[in-house]
Structures are given as C-alpha cells and as structure tokens.
Amino acid sequence: MALRIRFEFTRYPHLGAHSGYSQLVRHLDPQGYRARLCGAADTDAGLPRWLVPARPLLRRMVRRGRMPWYKLSDLGAEINAMPACLAGRLDILHFLDGEHSGQYLPRLIKRCGLSRPCTIATFHQPPDVVRELIDVDLLRWLDRVLLVSPSQRSFFARYVPEGRLRVILHGVDTEFFYPPSKPNATNAIRCITVGHWMRDWETFKSVVTALSSERGISFHVVASQSGGIGSLPNVRIHSGIGDASLAELYRSADVLFLPLLQSTANNALLEGMASGLAVLTSDLEAVRAYLPQNQAILLKNRPDAFVAVLRRLQRDVNERHDLGRRARARAEELAWPRIIRQYEALYDEVASGTAAS
C-alpha cells in the first residue's frame, strides 16, 4: 500500500518550477508514495476563512512565539493539515521548510497519542542563522530532523538524538539545467552570479571593480537584491526572468562566480554545476560537501585571489572546459532521480516504526 505523505512548503516567488527543495516531491515513485504538496505564501495571509475575524489575536500569538519567520500563512497551513492528521488519513507529514513551519502540529499529534502521521522537518539555514529562527524545544516532537549539509549537524546534534537526525544533500534538475552543445572557445568570458541570500557582495564588488577596465570579462547577476553593484560598467543585472531564460543564461555563461558568506545547500551552485560551468566559489564546509574533490575552484574570500583565478580562466580555455565537465559529472550524481532514493528509504524507515534512539 502506498504511503500517504503530505508536504508543507513555503512558496518563494524567486524560485521557478525547476528550482528549490520542493522538487523532490515530483520525483517520488507514485506507486509507493501518494504525495500531496501544499504551499504557503511567505506572508501573514493564508488563514482559513472562518479564522479571518481572529486575525489580530492570532497575529499577536504568532509574534509571541520564538520563530520569527513563522507567519499566519504557516499557522493556516498547520490548521488546514490538522483534519487529515487527526482522522488518520496521513502516514507522514513533512515540513520542507522547518524554519517556517511545524510550530504546533507535531506537538499536538504526539500529545494526542497518535502513532500517525510521523512528522519530519527539513532545515536549510546555517547554524549562526538557524539558532535565531527556531524554538529548539520543538525539535523533540519531530520523528526525524533532516539537514541539507553536514555543516548543520553540530548545532542540531545538541538537541536531537543521532538516530533522529539525517543529512541528505539537495538535488538538482539535470534535465532542465544542462550544458550548451558547444562550449565557448574564446577568451571573452561571461561570469554569472545568481541569488542574493548569503552572497558576499563586498567581495563581489571588489573583484568586479578590479576587472572593470579589462576587456573580455563580463558579469551577469540574477538577483532581486544585488548589493548596489548594478552601476558598475561590466555588470548586467537580470531580474524577474522566467525559468527558460534562467537556464539559457546559465548556458550562455562560462564561469559560475559565487562568493558566499555562508551556505548549506545552494540552488545556484547546483544549477551552475548542472549547466557545465567552471565553478569559482567560497571554500566553506557546506560547499565542500557538494564539491568534495576537484570539481571546482574553492577559495577564501580574498578579492585578489578571485581576480587572479578569473584572469587565469579567461586565458586557459582547456581548464575552464575541464572544470565544467567535472562540475556537470558531480551534478549528475546529485540529480533528483538519484537523491530521491534516500528520501524513499527514509520514509519507509519512518513509516515502519524503526526505532530512533
């Protein structure tokens, strides 16, 4: 009999139909898993209609909680999921964005003495950020806590027994994001930077400024917030673009230039890898989990070091192409059809009642 799984996630407007963590749902084997994906907007809207008159009271209640990213839409999502949980119509309830959700329902399920649904939450933020976003007491009500990077483990291991803690790397759609049929063989290169969260815009600006007078290196930025670098002469900003345009921008580039302050999983990193780009990014523990060998150039965030490598990649076409091939090969190891097997094994384990110490 197929497992009945309800997925709760936060709808971010910047994520398209082929990006983001919720992609895992469409890769589940439909013969073994009956999945329902339910999205909540990242706003204070989304309450069931009958609760709208109580909005002011509920808003005060939510704001008194210790989860600053939890909004009325997240409360509404938990309320909407409650009937199926209490009626035994679900086997698993998976909160895909743990920093946003699961403040009340996992505790209610346990206090009602229900063996179903089992509850799971995935957390995405690095330790320095997540400690300000979650109420760690709520972790004890979850049957499993999922992480997307081993760099998160040390924080969560203080509050969650090892048997209930699991790291599964993020996946990527390698069919939608793929390399160009003919890589650029000239010394005129395009660098692409995608996203704004945890980007090191100061280092980016220093690098771009140092290269602003040099011909043959241009920078394309896809972000709603880009640290005020749009006025630089060698930078072009792209915003509000669709999925197909994003994929084509990746394919038209040569280098994924991604200086980061922190990271766990990173959609732009995975999509650039899948697009066969030479990857130049920050040397962080989380990044090394996704690029563990020689699939990229990882550096400390020193502008002079990034500048030197970009100049080298401009000159050395063979190195650029070789890095791109290795990045693509690693992306194929992280393709959703492969990664999903780990989720299916986890869901089977949780549903079978395998003990977690």
Q: Are 306 and 280 in contact (CB under 8 A)?
A: yes
Residue 63 has pLDDT above 90, yes or no: no
How far is CA 219 from each of CA 68, 186, 203, 222, 226, rounded to the nearest angstrom? 35, 16, 14, 10, 12
pTM over 0.85: yes
- How far apart are alpha carbons 62 and 74 in whole angstroms? 10
pLDDT digits (tens, 9 = 90+) for 96-113: 999 999 999 999 999 999
Listed in sequence order, the residues at least 6 apart from 166 whose beta carbon sits closer than 8 Å to its beta carbon are 144, 145, 146, 147, 346
Q: What is the mean pLDDT of the chain?
A: 93
pLDDT at 354 > cutoff 70? no
- The Cα–Cα gap between 311 and 121 comes to 43
> Looking at residues 32-45, what average pLDDT do you find?
88
Listed by start position, the domains of the chain span 3-171+336-351, 189-333
Mean pLDDT of 215-232: 83
CA dihedral 154, 157, 159, 164 (to 10 degrees): 150
CATH topology of domain 189-333: Rossmann fold (3.40.50)
Domain 3-171+336-351, CATH: 3.40.50.2000
Least confident of 42-51, 151-160, 163-172: 42-51
Across 12-16, average pLDDT:
72
Give mean pLDDT, residues 310-325. 97
Model confidence at 303: pLDDT above 60: yes
pLDDT score for 357: 46
pLDDT in tens, 124-157: 999 999 999 999 999 999 999 999 999 999 999 9
Q: Which pLDDT band, with edges at 50, 70 and 90, does 226 fall under?
A: low
Give the model confidence (pLDDT) of 173-193 as tens digits: 999 999 999 999 999 999 999
| SS3 state at 221 | strand
Closest by Cα among 317, 270, 310 to 290? 270
Fold identical between 3-171+336-351 and 189-333?
Answer: yes
> How many residues are present in the chain?
357
Predicted pLDDT of residue 356: 54
Residue 77 pLDDT level (bands cut at 50, 70, 90): very high
Mean pLDDT across 313-317 = 96
